[in-house]
Structure 1
Amino acid sequence: MEAERKTFAHDLKKNVRRRLVTGLLVVFPIFVTFFVIKFIFSLLGGILSPVVRKTFIVMGYVPGNIRFDDFIITSFALVLTFVLLYFIGVFATNVFGKFMLGFFEAVLHKTPIINNVYKSSKKLIELVSLPGRKAFKRVVIVEFPRVGMKVISFVTGGIKCKDGTELTSIFIPTTPNPTSGFLFYLPESDIVETNMTIEEGMKLIVSGSILVPEEIEFSKKGRPSF
């Protein structure tokens, strides 16, 4: 009876912890997305608000000695931001716009420091904005940082060397921040396949292995010896 109580308490504690972490993983990206969007539009609205305010004053809608309501000013600034972004998108898709954008990028690529920042941010935007492209193909296990130690990693693609050797690109994310990590090229023989989905793999990384699938199946190529 006592053993059953301990088992029940342990299972209950484990279940509560799992649900709490799952809820956190659901809410956290929503919060971050909301915060980033709010920050961007607050920044753009703050830049354009003085322009909108002066425009209203010049047009005679608001006397210069009366402060116009900040909410109205910010609203017009945000609308202006959407309009500007739209026309920038239109400009970037026509022939002349593509030429100017290419020239601008060429200048940035030749500028030290700015070059790395621009290319990294552009790659990140392309990664998250293309729904048809899957950054991670599958979840695998490799030995890192030394023989005998196993880590969860993600297959991102592959390359073919001039001698005909084919290597698989492996991304090993850090915990709990998966946006940084290590990139390696390994032969398929060094990779152990799993039945984990990309979502399960990311949850495991972000939660620090708190959210682990009940069972993980490995391929017959080489079951890791944990």
Structure 2
Amino acid sequence: MQLPETPPPPKRGFFSSLRTNFLTGLAVIAPIGLTAWLIWTVVGWIDGWVLPFIPSAYNPVLLIREYTGIAVDIRGLGVATFLVFTVIVGWIAKGLIGRSMIKWADSLVLSIPGVRTIYSGLKQIVDTVVSQGERNFDKACLVQYPRKGIWAIAFISTNAKGEIQAQTEKEMVSIFMPTTPNPTSGFLLFVPKEDVTILEMTVEDAAKLVISAGLVYPNPDDPSKAPAVLPSPAQDAAE
């Protein structure tokens, strides 16, 4: 018996192809354009905030205008000046005299009522951000949360220490379980080390998985590294 021939797929119209090409081009251009616009805007904002504080004798915009005679607004001069100034301050602060000056300035500011609360809060926030930049999460992992049988992605911070470990019989680890789609918020959990399943994926790949709500999986083109696909209920019934 001769099987009927499969009809060819219908040809796409001109406007349909045009729409597809437009959406494809938009998907390529939009991330690049938005990134460039964001960088350009942030650099301009920093320039507008930094340059007015620089004395006229050292302001790079005025110096360029004086020696070249060209009144050109070069974006990024404020950023470069801020980076150089920050590096110099950091280099001075690492010395004995710099540490003494910083300690004296801290004690002076903390002795002012009202200002003390604002300064201590901002200092704590900055110290937390800087310490997070220097220390990263070790590995990504799976933990059963909020109940047994339900798994959630988390990041291992460190092994539990001090009173936290002393109050428990098992070896504990501190983990951070982020929320979707904002991974900067989440929960700090202390979990027995034996209940933590270490993942081979990197912390960056696990963060992408959390941010995308499970839509972006790491290594999708490599079956040996891709996450296992759970069988559907129909397949379970067939087996």
Which interval holds the TM-score relative to the shorter structure?
Answer: 0.5 to 0.7
Instruction: Give aligned pairs, total.
Output: 186
Please say if residues 156 and 176 of structure 2, whose CA atoms lie closer than 8 Å, have aligned partners that are also in contact.
Answer: yes
- The answer for the alignment partner of 2:46 in structure 1 is 40
- Is 1:98 the equivalent of 2:95? no
Please say if residues 139 and 197 of structure 1, whose CA atoms lie closer than 8 Å, have aligned partners that are also in contact.
Answer: yes
Structure 1 residue identity aligned to 2:215: I
- The answer for the alignment partner of 1:198 in structure 2 is 203
Structure 1 residue identity aligned to 2:53: I
Listed one character per residue, the Cα deviations across residues 175-194 of structure 1 (whole Å, up to 9, x for unaligned) are 22222221111111221222
| 1:54/1:41 CA distance change after superposition, 3 Å | closer
Q: Tell me how far apart the structure 2 counterparts of residues 157 and 200 of structure 1 sit (CA, whole Å).
A: 20
Listed one character per residue, the Cα deviations across residues 53-110 of structure 1 (whole Å, up to 9, x for unaligned) are 8989xxxx98xxxxx94727x8876665455334322321210111222344465599
Please say if residues 175 and 206 of structure 1, whose CA atoms lie closer than 8 Å, have aligned partners that are also in contact.
Answer: yes
- Is 1:151 the equivalent of 2:155? no
Mind listing any 5+ residue stretches in structure 2 that lack a counterpart? Answer: 10-22, 221-225, 229-239
State the SS of the aligned residue for 2:206: helix
Question: Based on CA coordinates, which of the two structures has the bigger radius of gyration?
Answer: 2
- Is 1:52 the equivalent of 2:56? yes
Structure 2 residue identity aligned to 1:71: D
State the Cα distance separating 1:172 from its structure 2 match. Answer: 1.0
Q: Tell me how far apart the structure 2 counterparts of residues 70 and 177 of structure 1 sit (CA, whole Å).
A: 41
| 1:209/1:102 CA distance change after superposition, 3 Å | farther
- The answer for the alignment partner of 2:227 in structure 1 is 216
State the Cα distance separating 1:168 from its structure 2 match. Answer: 0.4
Amino-acid identity (%): 24
State the SS of the aligned residue for 1:170: strand
State the Cα distance separating 1:171 from its structure 2 match. Answer: 0.6
Please say if residues 153 and 172 of structure 1, whose CA atoms lie closer than 8 Å, have aligned partners that are also in contact.
Answer: yes
- Is 1:180 the equivalent of 2:153? no
- The answer for the alignment partner of 1:122 in structure 2 is 127
- The answer for the alignment partner of 1:71 in structure 2 is 73
Q: What is the alpha-carbon root mean square deviation over aligned residues?
A: 4.3
- Which protein has greater RCO, CA pairs closer than 8 Å, 6+ apart? 1
